[in-house]
Amino acid sequence: MLVSSADLMWRHLADRKGLSASATLVLVRLNREGPMRVTALAEAEGASQSGMTQLVQRLEQQGLVERCSDPDDGRACLVKVSEGGRDLWEERAVL
């Protein structure tokens, strides 16, 4: 069985910075797939939209994700890994 480097990374990240497994999985997904709507994130992770909204808000407060306008729909926003989230990812990748 092959284990992707992203899967190994989430296990490594989950032990640090006070990140829950679900928060880390969201960061891994955003890092791998790029910006996503909260509804798409919730569906992909098998979470409720309200639960995902709360998680995204916590990650936003920690400086790990940020919201940006959806270029395809000005009424919607996307969630993406922030510079702080990328820094954390890169920091953990070298350990």
For residue 1, the model assigns a pLDDT of: 41
Residue keyed to tokens 């996307």: 78
Whole-prediction pTM: 0.80
Q: What are phi and psi of 34, to 5 degrees?
A: 90, -175
Q: What is the DSSP letter of 81?
A: E
As averages over each run of 10 residues, the pLDDT of the chain (95 residues) reads: 56 64 90 94 95 96 95 91 90 69
